[in-house]
Structure 1
Amino acid sequence: MDKVVRSAQEAVADIGDGSSLAVGGFGLSGVPDVLIEALFRQGAGRLSVVSNNCGVDGGGLGILLAAGRIVRVTGSYVGQNEEFARRYLSGELELELTPQGSLAERLRAGGAGIPAFFTPAGVGTLVADGGMPWRYAPDGSVAVASPAKEVRVYDGREYVLERGITTDFALVRAARGDRHGNLVLNKAARNFNPLAAMAGRITVAEVEQLVEPGEIDPDQVHVPGVFVQRVVELTPAQAADKRIEKRTVSP
């Protein structure tokens, strides 16, 4: 039951070329930076990533993106990452844009064993009708477009079918975790991390504080250990290294 591994490098050693990854985080909050850096050093490429956003220039998943290691992204936000936009518009990257709530539910559904679900989000748009550019050709034409999705009417309202998401691996970050993989997330870091953890067949969690089993109140657990296969304890310096996305001060 002890799921603690000695290092982040060891934890990501078996992530191979062509793997799919669900990665937690929202902006700069709750991003598993140490595991991403370890994966960068490990060298895996042709990765397909599912994450709300693909990091920022020089940070988070942006490190793997700039190195050309990511070939496909399923996400809901592109802004504040110029390299992401450049690679997408130049045809170097395939992007499946998904409404944010639908992305969250697709990850949760995949982790819960639900293959698909109907939602009103996206009805009447390219999300449902198809034709959204997934990948551009170098000349700016659309090389790959999204397919049309099934739409049904329930109680007089239209709903579009969305597929659940599962991935080969998931990388997440937590404030606390025990040796059994139970995780507690702090404030805004409780964003896509629980959902990504559910969707990964092998989930790796970096934790800022490692505690012994029984020290976490069961009522406080945000991610049960059943969804986590590996735990990496961060050093105090790694745990404290948190960037500020937008600094706001009072008058």
Structure 2
Amino acid sequence: MDKVVASAEEAVADIGSGSTLAVGGFGLCGVPEVLIGALLAQGADELEAVSNNCGVDEWGLGKLLKAKRLRRMISSYVGENKEFARQYLSGELEVELTPQGTLAERLRAGGSGIPAFFTPTGVGTQVADGGLPWRYDSEGEVVVASPAKEVRNFETAEGPQDFVLEEAIVADFGLVRAWKGDRHGNLVFRQSARNFNPLAAMSGRVTIAEVEHLVEPGEIDADSVHTPGVHVQRVLALTPEQVEETKQIEKRTVRERG
């Protein structure tokens, strides 16, 4: 039951080229930065990453992006990363843009054994009708576009309504960052760092969690657990130095006190 690994290098050693990764975080908050750094050094490429965004330039998934390790992204937000935009528009990166709530539910469904679900989000748009550019060529022409999805009408409390079918996401590996975790893999996320981390943890066939505070089994109250250990296969305990080095502020605003 002890799932603690000795190092980040050991934790990501079997992530092979071409793997699909579900990665927690939102902007710079709750990003498994130590695991991403170890994966960068490990050398796997042609990776497909599922994450709300692709980090920022040279931080988080942005490190793998800059090193040309990512083949494809499934995400909902691509702002604040110039290299992401450049690679996408130049045909170097395939991008499947997905509404944020739909992305969250696709990850949750994958971890819950639900293969697909219907949602009203995207009905009447290219999300449902198809045609969203997934990949461009070097000349700016669309060479891969999203397919049309099934739309079905259901009776609701407000009357008949159309819904679009969305498929669940199951990733080869999940990479997450937790505030606290025990040796059995039970995790607690702190405040906004909770974001996509529980969903990414559920979605991964093999989930690796880096934790800021490692405790013994039983020290976390059962009612406080956000992700139960059944979803987690490896736990990496961060050093105080690693925790400090990976705390970033995306936009610092300073004003005089009144």
- Distance in 2 (CA, whole Å) between partners of 1:238 and 1:161 is 42
Say whether residues 1:177 and 2:181 are aligned partners. Answer: yes
The one-letter code sitting in structure 2 at the alignment partner of 1:158 is D
- Per-residue CA deviation, residues 2-61 of structure 1 (Å, 9 max, x unaligned), is 000000110000000100000000000000000000000000000000000011001000
Match of 1:162 among 163, 166, 178: 166
Residue of structure 2 in register with 1:190 after alignment: 194
- Per-residue CA deviation, residues 54-107 of structure 1 (Å, 9 max, x unaligned), is 110010000000000000000000000000000000000000000000000000
Residue of structure 1 in register with 2:117 after alignment: 117
- Distance in 1 (CA, whole Å) between partners of 2:149 and 2:255 is 47
Q: CA deviation at 1:147?
A: 0.1
Percent identity between matched residues is 71
The one-letter code sitting in structure 2 at the alignment partner of 1:2 is D
Q: CA deviation at 1:182?
A: 0.2
Match of 2:237 among 233, 245, 248: 233
TM-score normalised by structure 2 residue count: 0.96
- Distance in 1 (CA, whole Å) between partners of 2:162 and 2:255 is 45
Q: For residue 177 of structure 1, give the secondary structure of its aligned residue in structure 2.
A: strand
Q: CA deviation at 1:248?
A: 2.9
Residue of structure 2 in register with 1:67 after alignment: 67
Q: For residue 95 of structure 2, give the secondary structure of its aligned residue in structure 1.
A: strand
- Distance in 2 (CA, whole Å) between partners of 1:240 and 1:167 is 29
Say whether residues 1:104 and 2:108 are aligned partners. Answer: no
Q: Which runs of 5+ in 2 are unaligned?
A: none
Residue of structure 1 in register with 2:135 after alignment: 135
Residue of structure 2 in register with 1:89 after alignment: 89
The one-letter code sitting in structure 2 at the alignment partner of 1:216 is I
The one-letter code sitting in structure 2 at the alignment partner of 1:135 is R
Alignment of 1:24-39 (within 5 A): 24-39=24-39
**What is the total number of aligned residue pairs between the two structures?**
251
The one-letter code sitting in structure 2 at the alignment partner of 1:15 is I
Q: For residue 202 of structure 2, give the secondary structure of its aligned residue in structure 1.
A: helix
Q: Which runs of 5+ in 1 are unaligned?
A: none
Match of 2:219 among 215, 225, 237: 215
Q: CA deviation at 1:250?
A: 4.9
